[in-house]
């Protein structure tokens, strides 16, 4: 995960040092967060054990906090899930970083 941490650190630093208003920075962070959520959730669902998925599908009353946790834990027990999430998140963050490098206004030059 160190590579993801490094990318995230560069992204946060770039955004925080930009001349954007705080509301614009908050909007960028919110969009990144939502994007990651939309990226990770389908991966988790695709690795949920079939018996759990069948039990909760079409039975919203069975979706309790504990059942939700069981759903996620069941998906994460599959060794492919964390790797797939890591690879997808890393790729998405690399795209975000490239976009910010290209489109984000540069911070003002500091004079000594």
Local mean pLDDT, 10-residue blocks, the chain (112 residues)? 89 94 96 95 90 78 83 90 95 96 81 66
Q: What pLDDT does residue 1 have?
A: 52
Per-residue b or e along 3-26, where b marks 16 or more CB atoms closer than 10 Å to that residue's CB: eeeebbeebeebbeebebeeeeee
pTM assigned to the model? 0.80
């Amino acid at each position: 995960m160190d590579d993801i941490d490094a990318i995230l650190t560069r992204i946060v630093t770039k955004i925080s040092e930009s001349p954007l208003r705080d509301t614009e920075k908050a909007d960028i962070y919110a969009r990144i967060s939502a994007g990651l959520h939309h990226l990770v959730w389908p991966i988790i669902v695709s690795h949920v054990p079939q018996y759990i998925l069948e039990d909760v599908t079409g039975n919203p009353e069975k979706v309790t906090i504990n059942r939700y946790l069981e759903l996620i834990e069941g998906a994460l027990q599959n060794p492919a899930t964390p790797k797939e999430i890591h690879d997808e998140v890393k790729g998405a963050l690399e795209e975000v970083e490239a976009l910010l490098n290209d489109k984000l206004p540069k911070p003002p030059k500091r004079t000594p």
